Amino acid sequence: MNRFLLFFAAVLLLGAVIFFFFFPQELGDDVDRAVGEGLGPIGLSLLVFVYARTAFKLLVRRDSFWKRLEPFNIDYERIKTLSGKILFYLNKSHPYFGIAAIAVIYFHCYFISRFYNLLPLRIVLALLAWQGVWGLVLKTRTAPAFLKRKGHLFHSQLITGLLILIFAGLGHFLLMN
């Protein structure tokens, strides 16, 4: 937990340093927009990594997937072991990539639009905060058991990722027009 909080603090500190020291404030919106446009693909790739881990986890845990490999005479026990090792490292890095994705996307939204009164943008930020808060509840050792049970239910919804994708696309479409 200490490493997790340290990483969270480091991401916030790095964001503040980038914002206040490396970009002169007198240049205004041009620099902010350039930084925001640079952060967009980074945030997208971090989200893709987080949700690809979820999809991989769901795929590996299905027995029907492994049974489809039987006709090919593939030693699927070895592949299953390898995929388990990969999943172990993906599970370890998931909280860090998740926190980084949330921070980068919040900075992206701020630099690009200054949180305009766009409803899709606010929905995306609320969904990201929802995912982050429940992920933090799951990571915290001192959280009560009933809260962890609810947290797992609320955090592990793929529909949330789909809604983030839909509303982010709609928000980008509205900002372009």
83-128 pLDDT, tens digit per residue, is 888 888 888 888 889 988 998 888 888 877 766 678 888 898 899 9
Is 90 found in the same domain as 70? yes
Is 40 found in the same domain as 110? yes
What is the pLDDT, as a whole number, of residue 166?
A: 92
Q: What is the count of structural domains for the chain?
A: 2
Is 107 found in the same domain as 36? yes
Q: Cα 117 from chain centroid? A: 23
What is the pLDDT, as a whole number, of residue 21?
A: 64
Instruction: Report which residue type is found at 7.
Output: F
Low-confidence ranges of the chain (pLDDT < 70): 1, 4, 18-29, 114-116
What is the pLDDT, as a whole number, of residue 19?
A: 64
Is 29 found in the same domain as 65? yes
Is 132 found in the same domain as 93? no
pTM of the model: 0.75
Is 95 found in the same domain as 24? yes
Last residue of a domain, one of 97, 114, 131: 114
Is 109 found in the same domain as 122? no
Is 153 found in the same domain as 96? no
What is the pLDDT, as a whole number, of residue 25?
A: 56
Is 127 found in the same domain as 110? no
Is 84 found in the same domain as 23? yes
Last residue of a domain, one of 114, 130, 162: 114
Is 78 found in the same domain as 132? no
Is 175 found in the same domain as 102? no
Q: Which of 138, 163, 160 is nearest to 149 (CA)?
A: 138
Last residue of a domain, one of 88, 114, 140: 114
What is the pLDDT, as a whole number, of residue 116?
A: 67
Burial 29-54 (b: 16+ CB within 10 A, else e): eeebeebbeebbeebbebbebbbebe
The boundaries of the domain holding residue 40 are: 1-114
